Amino acid sequence: MEKLIITAALTGAEVTKDIQPNLPVTPDEIAEAAYACYKAGASIIHVHARDEKGNPTQSYEVYKEIKEKIEAKCNIIVQPSTGGATWHTPEERLQPVELKPEMATLSCGTCNFGNEVFMNSSEYMEKFAKRMQELGVKPEVEVFERGMIENAKTLVKKGLLNTPIHFDFVLGVPGACPGTPEDLMHMIHCIPQGSTWTVAGIGRAETPLAMMSIVMGGHVRVGFEDNIYYSKGVLAESNAQLVERIVRIAKEVGREVATPDEARKILNLV
């Protein structure tokens, strides 16, 4: 089995310091949290930027500052979000891709997202995939619903997405696919052979789905974007604390954890 790639999704676009006081929001806080996660065993940082007021922004300049600050501390893979917040325009969402990061997310379909709609029409998907391909940015295909896997296959057929695809199953978002073990099993059965995949279980689904992935040869995403708690009713102290738990579980079942350079090889980034 390949070594385990752990992604830390530090901030997201929806969580606030009011509900998770340890949420990193400034570029310095994000870089510090990224470094702590790197030391704990993460090899990818999934980044969402915030403006000076703490609101989500897709500003090229803010992502640039965050990327440079993280890269000054360690060689972890920096993966900006192109999902942003539900109210960002496609043009805003695409801005961090212009930094030519090694990876960026590519959401492959529209779904309900809490009380909002997360819009990803074919037009958006094709535009985003094309730009990532032009700039040599590896997409992490975000899958919130089963049909999104088919949309990714369509992008491959159109020559806009290279194989092997790397999927991220984001399961348990209110309004989209739940995060039960059966849901994850079904997703895995539907992806093309040779694909790599990771799972981001939302809320209470985070740890059980991570455990499944560890034993099945998938990879794991944890962090405040997906889950702010360590256990029922107990807020996590830091993103790194959530990474540390995954490293401990992996060790217990004999799955080695990948360094950033090992993750680069597994994901064909080098």
Residues near Zn ion (CB under 5 A) are 81
Q: Which does 57 bind (CB under 5 to 8 A by kind): Zn ion, ligand KMH, none?
A: none
Q: Would you call 96 helix, strand, or coil by DSSP?
A: helix
Three-state DSSP state, 161: coil
Among 35-43, 81-89, 177-185, 207-215, which window interacts with ligand KMH (CB under 6 A)? 81-89
Annotate each residue in 19-58 with x if it binds ligand KMH (CB under 6 A) or - if it does not, as one string: ----------------------------------------
Using the minimum distance from each CB to Zn ion, give the nearer residue, 226 or 244: 226
Q: For residues 231 and 227, what is the distance between their CA atoms, to the nearest angstrom? A: 10
Q: Which does 224 bind (CB under 5 to 8 A by kind): Zn ion, ligand KMH, none?
A: none
Q: Please report whether residue 125 would count as binding ligand KMH according to CB under 6 A.
A: no
Say if residues 260 and 43 touch (Cβ distance below 8 Å).
Answer: yes
Question: For residue 114, how many C-alpha atoms fall within 13 Å in the half-sphere facing its CB?
Answer: 8
Report the alpha-carbon distance of residue 166 to residue 11 in Å, rounded.
22
CB of 144 to ligand KMH, least distance (A): 8
CB of 9 to Zn ion, least distance (A): 6
- When asked if residue 107 is in the footprint of ligand KMH (CB under 6 A), the reply is yes
Does 113 sit near ligand KMH (CB under 6 A)? yes
Would strands 166-171 and 196-201 be described as parallel, antiparallel, or unpaired? parallel
Pairing of strands 138-143, 116-118: unpaired
Q: Residue 255: which of 220, 221, 223 has the closest Cα?
A: 220
Among 59, 86, 122, 180, binds ligand KMH (CB under 6 A): 86
DSSP H helical ranges for the chain: 27-40, 60-73, 90-94, 122-135, 147-157, 181-190, 206-216, 239-252, 260-266
Q: Which does 113 bind (CB under 5 to 8 A by kind): ligand KMH, Zn ion, none?
A: ligand KMH
Helices 147-157 and 122-135: crossing angle, nearest 10°? 50
Closest to ligand KMH by CB, 110 or 257: 110
Binders of ligand KMH in range 136-165 (CB under 6 A): 142
Q: Give rounded-to-5 percent helix, strand, coil for the chain.
A: 40, 20, 40
Q: How many residues bind ligand KMH (CB under 6 A)?
A: 12
Q: Segment near ligand KMH (CB under 6 A), from 26-34, 82-90, 149-157, 192-200? A: 82-90
Q: DSSP code of 62?
A: H
Three-state SS at 89: coil
User: Contact between 13 and ligand KMH (CB under 6 A)?
Assistant: yes
Q: Residue 253 Cβ, how far from ligand KMH at the closest point, in Å?
A: 28
Q: Given the rule CB under 6 A, which of 79-87, 124-132, 159-167, 229-237 is the region that contacts ligand KMH?
A: 79-87
Q: What does the binding site for ligand KMH look like in residue numbers (CB under 6 A)?
A: 12-13, 81-83, 85-86, 105, 107, 113, 118, 142
